Structure 1
Amino acid sequence: MEAVIKSVPLVLGSASPRRSKILQSLGCAFEVCAVDADEIHDSADPVHTVVTNAAEKYRACRARRPEAAIIAADTLVWFEGRLIGKPADLEEAAAFLRAFSGRAQIVYTGVALGLPGQAPDLRVEASSVRFKPLTEAVIQAYLERTRPLDRAGAYDIDENGELLIAGTSGSYTNVMGLPAAPVRDWLTAHGFI
């Protein structure tokens, strides 16, 4: 079985450099397949939302790469009873960070992993992120140093996150956009690493 799996290409259904970085750290060869998928963002259930969105990205990637093993993911921030996605502009990014100041949130990532001809294995990971009390000067400095518009919640824990984050509980790589432990387990179980 392992030899068969090694002949199957592994594809990351995401253009996210953070997800690529995490997958590279696991030591497996993969290709990137950036996809557009019909995502939902209005659900009151964060688990349903990220799993549904990951499955949609998986399906879009599967349509383009039917011969490949695929990993697709979706990450959203759950804050005070609502989903926070990527900000529309810098003004909204600053508003997100002001709201997060001194508070905690949950970062959810849904992951869809699958082999050719099989239904995807759907998983979800949740991590808690506590923000420091943020001054306007810190918020502006962060926005000037990073690219907040392509990140759920307008922040990247791995890029200048020390300016914002007081602490985390749970998977650090989940907060980055791809929980390494369950992905590594799946890759190992299927002979990719």
Structure 2
Amino acid sequence: MADGSTLNFPALVLNADFRPLSYFPLSLWSWQDTMKAVCLDRVSVLSEYDAEVHSPHRTFRLPSVIALKDYVPAARKPAFTRFNVFLRDNFSCQYCGDKFPTHDLTFDHVIPRCKGGRTTWENVVTACGVCNLRKGPHLPHVIGMLPRARPARPTSWQLQDNGRAFPPNYLHESWRDYLYWDTELES
């Protein structure tokens, strides 16, 4: 490798429609996986880093943006996970409305399990620790703690859209045109 570390050259992976496979977490592949896909002709290279890797007979510039040649449809029903509940709710407590880092969030059963509530998209919301303890095993209307939004199963598109509001810690300049191509330009 020409410039030292091989850890700092992830490729942004776009679907065949040139949209990222996912925004949160951002769809990135290691340079090794990217080079394998390039050699197997499974992706098109759209942008490259200045860095190179060498085989015994060839030199390759490392791709920074690639697009899959075959379209991968998004899952119709996103998995019911703690992270996806937080993402649906924009990492905000549904009782007080404040945003929190993931490690400070919990999820709350709107109708508590002890009162027959189930662990489903339609009954679980993001909550901060303080609000979760305050609500406890009570029904929301009894103690005046109604969630800000009625919990519902999100679509994959809704989760992707929410994820776009949380840019990753690292953005290579070659990725920007592909991540925010449909946002309003400055006037």
Provide TM-score, normalisation by structure 1.
Answer: 0.21
Give 1 or 2: higher helix fraction.
1
What TM-score, normalized to structure 2? 0.21
